[in-house]
Chain A
Amino acid sequence: MKLAISLIQVLLIVGTAPLLRGVVARIKARIQNRRGASVFRPYADLWKLFRKEDLVPSTASLLFRLCPVILFAATLMAAAFVPVLHVSALLGDRGDFILLVYLLALARFFLVLGAMDGGSSFGGMGASREALVSALAEAPLLLGLIAIAVVSHSASIASIVRWAISRAPFVLSPAHAFACVALVLVTIAETGRVPVDNPSTHLELTMIHEAMVLEYSGPSLALIEWANAIKLNLMLALLVALFVPWGVAATISPVALAIALLCYLLKIALLAVALAALESSVAKLRMYLVPEYLGTACALSVLAVVFTAFTR
């Protein structure tokens, strides 16, 4: 039963990932006074891409086809660490948050590698920018998670959540506050959203993520796009699990699980609205201000670590 719940959690993150993208796009359209495409459009896009021919540049090696698969697999595995409905995620007790961070890094490494293997100058440009962003985002991500791990005396995501729901709702440490803001900033950078990257641009010179996938087509592109959507969903789920886990089921009972599902969907929906509102109200940063932006995240996460000393 527990295994079934765990599997359902992973499927939930993976399965609703395209929907989340569709919802964010739809809310952005409404803010712009447009009707917008259906929230299920990303599923149709994936379906279309999976049935298309996979074109490989003549200069590319085997790596080019392999990278999207590794990217998808690593992202899928990372998704298995995040508790959504029940405190025990599929791999929640088998690995700590450091493994989670490095699974995401592995996924990104192969995405960058594939982009460079494609041989176009835009792939290389996007790859170098992605490497810069991720190198700078890694420190605040790790430090933020370390702060929370120290406060909750645990390194596994599942036991962090167990510790948090054992406490009164919304009574967390100052370290949590700093870590939360830092991780929100990191999430925006990591998932390529405005103001760090623009997921809907057609200007190849300004792209980060989109430049890396310009050479991809068909099923490979579908895997990359899906993995990217999963990453957004999993980062938001991680934020929910770390900072507002209340509602998640501690026991396996139908009622508790139903409540947990409702709470989860509500929280993700609120985050989607917040993300769309943020993306609609600011312009994209100048490329050379992105390090400053991530520097802010880093400073906040350092503060979070410092404040763990004052938290008992």
Chain B
Amino acid sequence: MSAVGTHSKGAGGRREASVLLAAGNTRLVSIFGSIDDDGERWVHYIVDVDSHEYRLFSEQVKGSIASVTAAAPGAAWYERELHDLFGIEVEGHPSLQPLVFHESWPADIHPRRKGQVGGDYRFLKVQGEGVCEVPVGPVHAGIIEPGHFRFSVVGDTVLHLELRHFYTHKGIEAHFEGVPVMSGMMLAESVSGDNCFAHAVAYCQALENAFGVSVPPRGRALRLIGLELERMLAHIADVGALCGDVAFTVPATYTARLKEALLQASARVTGTRWWRGVARPGGVTRELAKEDARALGSAVAAVAHDFAELAQMILETPSVLNRFESTGVLSSNVARALGVVGPVARASGLKADVRRDHPYGRYRTLTLDVPHYSSGDVLARARIRMDETAMSARLIADAVETLPAGAIAAAGPWDGSAEGFSAVESPRGELLYFARVRDGRIRRCHIKSPSFQNWPALPLAMPGNIIADFPLINKSFNLSYSGCDR
């Protein structure tokens, strides 16, 4: 378990966590609740120490808990979610308003436990001459996921933005309960469609850590290929969408072709475009024949080559740079305070990358040079994705060339009782699964999604920007509604 982190249980878990979080070298990864075999509520804190060690602190809830938001602002949403779902009172929280639940939700129902919940939701009222509120969503003009954005603007300049999400809360963590260990991947794959393989792998790794099962080298290499392919797909699509948002249509459609080429290459060699059903606890389900590996490798290389040229062209177009530069700046201080992860963090000067900081699978044997930028604007977030696409292509080429022989999956004893957690670097950033198993069935599964972590940072990149630039800034974060709401 040392590779994934330590776990301390006891009465002082919360205090230990908050003391750690107040120190400078730590980052909040996740907070979640669970109910043990005796029906008692527990609260769990996962803290990343020195960017190299995950520590899990657990404490039984007696009455209420004290908030850690003052020490780690990124805890605000997690504690509101705890309050909604488990009815745990959090003392000292700056604004313990409903997060998951909307106005129509009955006041005293907590899906995970009965308790008390506060009244109506109130948006922060910005007052002053010429300030007006612009409500946007949850129904949008295009076909996107539902989310509500409340802007307070003066003219076209945004003073304040407040998010109201969780229109797609599906209770997936609750759905996990009672699911046999070997069937949970399907649920994990449905959390966030475009990151389905990362979710499945994170789920499998949590179980492998829980049961102490080691994935054979060939299985690790195949997982790396899938994970990096997924990253390429996401990043290429994101760069295209950024161009589409500024009406630069040629690269927007060109990326659609590149993405399709990767999807078709995937379908040819694995039988699935998005690698669904490929990950399983212990390894993977599909063998990759030598000629298939070579075909996939050359398809990836061709796409990476075309994309590099396209990226160059985008970065050399003045009208695009004018839109991207200095738009939607997320300062590194804010990013650090909110524990922002993934490409968004790396564009704001944080070097966080799970593949390097908490290596897993084949990444343990690799030395990664993680790209990062410090300007924190839309351009930095676009460049991060361009650089990482090239890096992913190199990782895939390396894995395809040096594909180890042997089994693709390890058999494991999956029918006992255990608990564990593990993180992967999904295209959106750190994705962590915590799993508790009782007699071969999931008892509690917590999903720390990168979108849940990063959404609160988006409003802080908005003030001072014009409202017409919001879609572009939002696209440069490209967060998942479904993955956040779960």
**Interface: A205 (CB within 8 A):** yes
Contact status B254-A283, CB under 8 Å: no
Q: When the two chains form the complex, which single residue of A194, A214, A283, A287 contacts B468, counting CB atoms closer than 8 Å?
A: A287
Question: Which residues in window 270-312 of A have CB below 8 A to B?
Answer: 279-289
Chain B residue at smallest Cβ distance from A31: B250
Q: Select from chain B the residue with minimum beta-carbon distance to A284.
A: B247
A32 & B249 in contact (Cβ 8 Å cutoff):
yes
**A203 contacts B471, C-beta separation under 8 Å:** yes
Interface size on B, residues (CB 8 A): 31
Q: Is B305 an interface residue (CB 8 A)?
A: no
CB distance from B132 to the nearest CB of A (A): 9
Q: Is the CB of A287 within 8 A of B140?
A: no
Contact of B319 with A283 in the complex, beta carbons under 8 Å? yes
The residue that A204 contacts in the complex, of B140, B249, B253, B254, with Cβ under 8 A, is: B140
Q: Is B141 part of the binding interface, using a Cβ–Cβ cutoff of 8 Å?
A: yes
B470→A205 contact, CB < 8 A? yes
Contacts of B143 in A (CB 8 A): 202
Known: A286-B323, A287-B468. A33 touches B257 (CB 8 A): yes
Of B135, B319, B320, the contact of A121 (CB 8 Å cutoff): B135
Please give, as numbers and ranges, the residues of chain B lying within 8 Å of A205 by CB-CB distance.
136, 467-468, 470-471
B249 and A280 within 8 A (CB): yes
Specify the chain A residue showing the minimal Cβ separation from B467. A205
| Cβ contacts under 8 Å, A206 to chain B | 245, 468-469, 471-472
Q: A286-B469, A287-B468 are in contact. Are A202 and B253 (CB under 8 A)?
A: no
B134 at the interface (CB under 8 A from A): yes
Whether A247 is near chain B, meaning CB under 8 Å from some CB there, is no
Q: How far is the CB of A276 from chain B (nearest CB, A)?
A: 10
Q: B254-270 toward A: CB 8 Å interface, digit per residue (1/0)?
A: 10010000000000000
Which of chain B's residues have a CB closer than 8 A to the CB of A38? none
B91, CB-defined interface residue at 8 Å: no
| Cα-based distance from A284 to B472 in the complex (angstroms) | 12
**B247 close to A33 (CB less than 8 A):** no
Q: A195 interface residue, CB < 8 Å from B?
A: yes
Q: Are A214 and B141 in contact (CB under 8 A)?
A: yes
Question: Does chain A have a CB within 8 A of B391?
Answer: no
A250 to B254, CA, bound (A): 48
Q: Is the C-beta of A34 less than 8 angstroms from some C-beta in chain B? A: yes
Q: Does A28 contact B (CB under 8 A)?
A: yes
Interface residues of B in 465-480 (CB under 8 A from A): 466-472
Instruction: Find residues 184-219 in chain B having any chain A CB closer than 8 Å to their own CB.
Output: none
Provide the bound-state CA to CA distance between A280 and B246, in Å: 11
- Per the bound structure, the CA–CA distance linking A279 and B142 in Å amounts to 21
B409 at the interface (CB under 8 A from A): no
Q: Judge whether A238 is part of the interface by a CB distance below 8 angstroms.
A: no
Contact of A202 among B135, B142, B322 (CB under 8 A): B142
Instruction: Digitize B141-152: 1 where CB-to-A-CB distance is under 8 Å, 0 elsewhere.
Output: 111000000000
- Across the interface, do B253 and A32 meet the contact criterion of CB distance under 8 Å? yes
Chain B contacts for A202, CB-based, 8 A: 140-143
- Do the beta carbons of A32 and B323 come within 8 Å of each other? no
Interface string of B98-138 (1 = CB under 8 A from A): 00000000000000000000000000000000000011100
- Could you list 4 further interchain pairs (A-B, Cβ under 8 angstroms) beyond the known A206-B472, A283-B323? A210-B141, A285-B319, A286-B322, A288-B156
Residue pairs across A and B with Cβ atoms less than 8 A apart, 14 shown, are: A28-B249, A32-B253, A32-B254, A121-B134, A194-B247, A195-B319, A198-B247, A201-B247, A202-B140, A204-B141, A205-B470, A206-B471, A279-B249, A286-B322
Interface residues in chain A, defined as those with a beta carbon under 8 Å from any beta carbon in chain B: 28, 31-34, 121-122, 125, 194-195, 198, 200-207, 210, 214, 279-289
